[in-house]
Amino acid sequence: MVRLLACTLFVTVALQAQLSPGKWKTDLSKKSIDLAEFRSGGPPKDGIPAIDDPKFVAVHQASAWLNPKEPVLAVNLSGESRAYPLQILIWHELVNDRIGDIPILVSYCPLCNSAIVFDRRIEGEVHDFGVSGMLRHSDMVMYDRQTDSLWQQLTGEAIVGSMTGRKIEILPSQVVAFATFAKSSPAGKVLSRDTGHNRAYGQNPYAGYEFGDRPLFPAPSRRRTGLRPMERLVTVEVGKTTKAYPFSALRSRRVVEDKIRDTRYVVFFEEGTVTALDQRDIARSRDVGAAGVFTSELEGRRLSFRHKDGKIVDKETGSVWNVLGVATEGTLTGKRLTPIPHGTYFAFAWLAFRPDTQIVGERVP
């Protein structure tokens, strides 16, 4: 019995050693991955501090420190619009927030360029999340403070701990230029720089990353592709089927109509958004554009779209639409298309988790 307890203690200590520095109460007996896949990102548990008491300012106040082309993660829920600037998220990675009755988790992993919003409710209980300090396949590993279970940010799935196998729901969101958000939601709210932390907001600690040769941390390469590792992909997932659209192709087409099974949708692309992962000064970075994915139906009527004279228009009414899926000119002005949950990720990161993705228009070398 003593030997068994000693062995158990040794194994537990050995497994704990594979976690980042910090106090952990994670149930390591439950997991869906090999703990050896974890890699230290550098900071310890909570070394990158999540924002737990977010404060917001009006659009006109944020314009004093946000460049019009700077990227913000835009969320529209319960009739309220909020923008979370990537110049803040790049330093905190997680925001535990609430819009109306919906507790949300705003997340951003700079290494994968994955900005995702989740519902923080798990089986009716609200959970709070923090940054674990660990990476898996170059993607941030989060943890929930109620159980210390570990969650993969890019997939929203618990991979170690008592919550293993559960998923948190992804909510619609988009990364767009601050000017696009401000014009569509002049009464919207913007996450404030008043975070309680002293950080170099507006500066990019990953200078040169997006247009470099390789990721900072390794990720498995499970399929051949002719894409640059940091090529941006817009991904759409319906059931077990996933399609991806490279920004390099969207930049020339601007509008793509497609479907997965019976789900029809349209992908919009618009220039005018800079990346947060290029120059040290984010506002001086390169324009990479922004994309959105929406249902092709509005109030029971199917619409079709095209790019004409530099604008996205529907063929049925000639109304003009922006990348947020809002009609800005024509008979449908003010109408909003229903967003389809999607993501914009670096190719290497997405394909590490979903190598079975169909990349539309891809030419494999």
Q: Locate the DSSP E strands across 110-240.
A: 114-119, 121-122, 125-126, 129-136, 139-144, 150-152, 157-160, 170-171, 174-177, 189-191, 232-238
Give the domain range for residue 319. 202-359
Comparing 78 with 17, which gets the higher pLDDT? 78
* Domain assignment of residue 126, yes or no: yes
* Domain assignment of residue 183, yes or no: no
* Domain assignment of residue 11, yes or no: no
* Total domains in the fold of the chain: 2
Do residues 24 and 170 both lie within one domain?
yes
pLDDT score at 87: 98
Taking 90 as the threshold, does the pLDDT of residue 22 lie above it? Answer: no
Taking 90 as the threshold, does the pLDDT of residue 211 lie above it? Answer: yes
Do residues 267 and 159 both lie within one domain?
no
Residue of 155, 181, 180 lying closest to 169 (CA atoms): 155
Do residues 233 and 129 both lie within one domain?
no
Q: Determine phi and psi for 9, rounding to 5 degrees.
A: -65, -40
* Domain assignment of residue 196, yes or no: no
Do residues 341 and 231 both lie within one domain?
yes
* Domain assignment of residue 98, yes or no: yes
98-152 confidence digits (pLDDT tens): 999 999 999 999 999 999 999 999 999 999 999 999 999 999 999 999 999 999 9
* Domain assignment of residue 13, yes or no: no
264-274 confidence digits (pLDDT tens): 999 999 999 99
Do residues 235 and 150 both lie within one domain?
no
User: Pairing mode, if any, of strands 358-359 and 241-246?
Assistant: parallel
305-361 confidence digits (pLDDT tens): 999 999 999 999 999 999 999 999 999 999 999 999 899 999 999 999 999 999 998
Do residues 238 and 293 both lie within one domain?
yes
In Å, how far from its chain's centre is CA 28? Answer: 27
What is the C-alpha to C-alpha distance for residues 278 and 203, in angstroms, rounded to an integer?
Answer: 10
DSSP code of residue 90 = H
pLDDT score at 361: 83
* Domain assignment of residue 10, yes or no: no
In Å, how far from its chain's centre is CA 292? Answer: 13
